[in-house]
Amino acid sequence: MIGLLLGALVAVAAVVIVSLPYLRGRDADGDLEMTTSRGEERMALVEERDRTLAALKELEFDHRTGKIDDEDYRELVGPLRRAAAAALQALDAADAD
């Protein structure tokens, strides 16, 4: 009987500890809006970085498999690398703020 009661107490404590971050409220709506605005900007930068890096990866794969010849590869890789570098720099600058 004591073991059952102790087990129930531990289970309730675990549920409270796990749900505590979700039960806490925000202090002010302004804080939430600022976070959302910054979060959306950062998310856009992350998406841009991911798109350019994925395009680079696909270009590398197509070149290695022979779908794209060397001349076309050299023509396409430069702008993609510059776009990826610009996206990474913008993300680093946003994270620094």
Which tens digit of pLDDT belongs to each residue from 11-54? 888 888 888 777 776 544 444 444 577 788 888 889 999 999 99
In a domain, 55, yes or no: yes
Establish if 25 belongs to a structural domain. Answer: no
Question: What are the distances in angstroms from CA 26 to CA 17, 19, 47, 60, 84?
Answer: 18, 15, 27, 46, 36
Q: Does the pLDDT of residue 86 top 50, yes or no?
A: yes
In a domain, 64, yes or no: yes
Domain contains 10? no
28: left (phi over 0), alpha (psi -120 to 50) or beta: beta
- Evaluate whether residue 29 is within a structural domain: no
CB 42 within 8 A of CB 94: yes
Task: Give the integer Cα–Cα distance in Å for 11 and 55.
Answer: 48
Residue 69: what are its φ and ψ, rounded to 5°? Answer: -80, 170
Q: Give residue 41's domain range.
A: 36-97
